Amino acid sequence: MVTALGVGVLVFAFLINITGNRMIGLFSLLMALLKIGGILVFALGGLWIADFNFEVTQTAVEETSVIGFLAAMALAILAYKGFTTITNSGSEIVDPHRNVGRAIIISIAICVVIYILVALAVAGNLSLPEIIAAKDFALAEAARPALGDYGLWFTVGLAVVATTSGVIASIFAVSRMLAMLTDMKLVPHSHFGMKGSIQKHALVYTVAIAIFLTLFFDLSRIASLGAIFYLLMDIAVHWGVLRYLRKEINASPFVLIMAIVFDVVVLGAFLMVKAQTDMTVIYAAFIGITLVFVGERFFLQRQIKEKNHGT
């Protein structure tokens, strides 16, 4: 059921993305308002029913570990990854030099407030073992004692809206980023007989890969793979800026180095936890990273040879 719903959301997001920027913008705005409003209603309602009492989830300090805390931070970092959608869509934003920074600050501020309220609402209605047992459905289970079956279905519907909104935005940004990299001849591209722009082709490839992951991995594994790939990408980007661009863009070496250090520490802790609980994630990540690096190295070497041969 969850897998079929996930594939359906991806297909729907694809259809919205091929309708054009105006439709994408209007639909995304509507979905964002519904998502934020609904989550706030759930969070505030849950806190009110729980009477702001969180004794049910209190855990002794000795039951926690530094490695576990750092591993949790890897997923927490992924929860804020949405702001990269803004930067990847910079070419579609009016006055990007001013509005991209503002949009990032506003989005992160909204997320901080919502995440804290939701965490407190869940903590007020479920014990820690119940949260762990519920896994991907923790919000739905947290709504049940407060609002009954109606709360359960409300939360499920809200999750569908939130997921759809996020997927539409992510597909929009990633397809445009892939199209830009293709135009720069930094990634390989094949039309496979399709008509239309490179961006439309990138849209098809993005959705196809997402459907593949949805069919073969559950939500927790997809999130884990996303955290690993995102942290590695973050390290690579910061290293690239530190080594090649810091003077050109006036970037602070201290900030870049600290970002790399924090990413390495969090990623290391996350991999240690996954090595003990789910090696499938590590194997899948290793295979994916190897394919990307080997494929890119082969492609770029061929591009260099063709360029040298042409000159």
Among residues 195, 216, 237, the one where a domain terminates is: 216
- Examine the domain organization and report whether 177 and 263 are in the same domain: no
- DSSP SS3 for 54: coil
- Examine the domain organization and report whether 264 and 212 are in the same domain: no
Task: Give the number of other Cβ atoms within 10 Å of residue 141's Cβ.
Answer: 19
Question: What's this model's pTM, rounded to 2 decimal places?
Answer: 0.78
- Examine the domain organization and report whether 205 and 229 are in the same domain: no
- Examine the domain organization and report whether 60 and 36 are in the same domain: yes
Tokens standing for 24? 């994408």
DSSP for 108-150 reads HHHHHHHHHHHHHHHHHHS-HHHHHHHGGGHHHHHHHHHHHHH
- Examine the domain organization and report whether 70 and 189 are in the same domain: yes
Among residues 187, 216, 245, the one where a domain terminates is: 216
- Examine the domain organization and report whether 112 and 180 are in the same domain: yes
Q: What CATH number is given to the structural domain containing 186?
A: 1.20.1740.10
Residue 191: partners with Cβ closer than 8 Å, 6 or more residues away: 201
The amino acid at 152: L
- Examine the domain organization and report whether 109 and 189 are in the same domain: yes
- Examine the domain organization and report whether 224 and 184 are in the same domain: no
- Examine the domain organization and report whether 31 and 150 are in the same domain: yes
- Examine the domain organization and report whether 190 and 303 are in the same domain: no
- Examine the domain organization and report whether 187 and 232 are in the same domain: no
The three state secondary structure string of 218-235 is CHHHHHHHHHHHHHHHHH
- Report the C-alpha gap between 107 and 114 in whole angstroms: 11
- Examine the domain organization and report whether 57 and 12 are in the same domain: yes
Range of the domain at 299: 219-311
Number of domain units in the chain = 2
Phi, psi of 8 (to 5 degrees): -60, -40
Among residues 192, 216, 240, the one where a domain terminates is: 216
Nearest to 165 by CA among 294, 16, 279, 290: 16
How does pLDDT run along the chain (311 residues), one tens digit per residue? Answer: 778 888 998 999 999 988 877 888 888 888 888 888 888 887 887 777 767 665 655 555 556 677 777 777 777 777 777 777 777 766 677 788 888 888 888 888 888 888 888 888 888 777 777 777 776 677 777 777 666 777 777 777 887 888 888 888 888 888 888 888 888 888 887 777 788 788 888 889 889 999 998 998 888 888 889 889 989 999 999 999 999 998 898 889 999 999 999 999 989 989 998 998 899 999 999 999 999 999 999 998 888 887 777 65
